[in-house]
Amino acid sequence: MSSSRRVRVLLTNDDGPPGPESPFIFGFAQQLQKTLGWDVRVVVPSSQKSWIGKAFHIKEDVQGRYYYPREPDGLGETSLASRPLKDGEVAEWILFDGTPATCANIALHNLYKAEVDLVISGPNLGRNTSSAFSLSSGTIGAALSGALSNVRSIALSYGIFLKHTPRELHAPAHDLSVSIVRHLWEAWGTTALPPAELYSINIPMIEALTGPEPLKVCWTRMWHSRYGRLFASHPPVSSAAEQETIGSTPEGTPEPLLFKFAPDFKGLVNPQLEDLPVGTDAWAVHSGHVSVTPLIACFAEPQDALTECTDAQDTEKLVWKVKL
């Protein structure tokens, strides 16, 4: 990157444009520009796309629209064609009817080819700690999409721990996030940071954000959590009146195969702190600390599980010694 050019950031997410399901992206984008002076390009899904991982749309056409956020909350108009900003509008963003990973890839390879220095995905509404959540996260999925395109990438998530998160926590969360992002950017690839292709940041949205002492920032590894049932049967008849109108199901007739997403996360959302391995991302945020987890865009192999082979003449030791 030329030293004379501002750092160019692609900002994406899985929560969509500003609104109740996406309360953080507008303020964070503004803070990035205000504090660091970076050139921020925003390309996000046109609607909420949580729990979609790193999926791509490969059969459907991906339609895009221009979006014009306004102060103070980022709500704005959409347009099929790019146009000059109107009074009160602060930027031109792009919305795609696609997944977060799709947004990242199109932005990197079609809209801003060879122009983006850093991908930031988030801030997500909710934490993305542990393997159960991280492997499903559209936020991390977009950052993985960036890393697989050889662009430095960061996934940023705000963990919700209060029943009603006051807006007073937004600004300090953005300030802390920008500070961490700047440190990662400036030290990336040096011995000052653990080696990684992307980093996952989780900031707990707790009252201590506004306290006199800054939250501790911890280097963490991912908690290897698991989940069970994610779906529940969904009866098509939802009321007694509808039941009387439609009639009862004849005896012996199989129930319709209809299910809805209704995960059972008892042990994941509110685990006991003593049950969390110290040094993991979940342990950090449930202890009131910020978690920064270095990652690579690869399915991890169990440490020391495979025989190392560096000599092409000695590959016999890789052969599976099992009679099939």
What's the farthest any 2 CA atoms get from each other in the chain? 76
pLDDT of residue 304 exceeding 60, the answer is no
In this prediction, residue 265 carries a pLDDT of 86
SS3 21: coil
- Here the tokens at position 31 are 């803070």
| pLDDT tens, position by position, 120-131 | 999 999 999 999
Superfamily of domain 8-226+273-295: Survival protein SurE-like phosphatase/nucleotidase (3.40.1210.10)
| pLDDT tens, position by position, 256-300 | 789 999 998 888 888 899 989 999 999 999 999 999 999 999 877
- The ranges assigned to domains in the chain are 8-226+273-295
In this prediction, residue 236 carries a pLDDT of 57
Cα(254)–Cα(238) distance, integer angstroms: 18
State percent of the chain over pLDDT 90.
73
| pLDDT tens, position by position, 18-59 | 999 999 999 999 999 999 999 999 999 999 999 999 999 899
Cα(165)–Cα(226) distance, integer angstroms: 27
Q: pTM of the predicted model, to two decimals? A: 0.89
Cα(205)–Cα(280) distance, integer angstroms: 18
Cα(207)–Cα(210) distance, integer angstroms: 6
In this prediction, residue 234 carries a pLDDT of 82
Burial (CB count within 10 angstroms: exposed 0-12, middle 13-18, buried 19+), residue 42: buried
First to last CA, the chain: 54
SS3 161: coil
Cα(88)–Cα(102) distance, integer angstroms: 30
